[in-house]
Chains A and B, each alone.
Chain A
Amino acid sequence: MPTPDFEYCFQLPLCPQPIAIKPTNAANEAGIGWIPTWKQGIAEANRTKKPILLVSAAPQCGGVPGEW
């Protein structure tokens, strides 16, 4: 199965459809460099003065635990 050349903003079963995001140019072809914690992310935003795109999802739906 070929590897898709885009990343989903987030993806969970039984949840709203994801929006596919495609990098714009060769420099971004590696995809989105997600920062995994708020502390690191806000520090980077403060440093670069870039706005923040924040997404988060829990491995559970309706109180039923799931898996990542």
Chain B
Amino acid sequence: MPEVIKPRNFVCIRTMTYESAEEAKVLRSIWGRGDLQNTVFAILDPYGRPIVNGQRSPQRIFRDSADMASYMDQVAAHYRSYGDPTWLPVVDTVRLGLNVAACDSRPLVIVVAPTKPKETAFKPD
């Protein structure tokens, strides 16, 4: 039985693509050594500074899911965090949005508008 991890104590970022030059630049700085690998895992503080440096996977650091969950609990306890997301995450392209929604079995909202919508437009009621 996998150990339980409390995702609400963390901001969980899963960059969807290596096709974005902007995202690749960020991942490269988090990876920190040589060519960017095709998988990256890291635990960072609220300002993006590494707590667990970029690795290929959690298995490179943690013995098992229980070990990872325990460590994440310790990390979360150090921060006086608050609040939950007040907006829906925005994806720049329909193609990526469809991929992610299909993989995660999540509903998808596609907005067709003359200007790029802002995140504040997607606050859930």
Contact = CB atoms under 8 A, between A and B. Distances in A.
A joins B in a complex: yes
Contacts of A55: 12-14, 39-41
Interface string A1-40: 0010011011010011101111110011001111111111
Nearest to B44: A52
B13 A35 contact: yes
A35 B88 CA distance: 9
A57 B57 CA distance: 10
Contacts of B92: 37
Contacts of B26: 38
For chain B, give the interface size range.
35 or more
Interface string B35-64: 000111111111110010000111100101
Contacts of A39: 22
A15 B72 CA distance: 23
Given A19-B68, A57-B38, A51 B11 contact: yes
A54 B38 CA distance: 14
Given A36-B89, A51-B10, A54-B44, A21 B5 contact: yes
Interface of B: 2, 4-18, 20, 22-23, 26-27, 30, 38-48, 51, 56-59, 62, 64-65, 68, 72, 75-76, 78-85, 89-92, 96, 99-100, 103-105, 119
A50 to B, nearest CB: 4
11 contacts: A16-B57, A21-B2, A48-B81, A48-B82, A48-B84, A49-B82, A51-B44, A51-B51, A52-B10, A53-B13, A54-B15
B65 A21 contact: yes
B59 A17 contact: yes
Nearest to B64: A19
Contact of A51 (B17, B38, B41, B46): B46
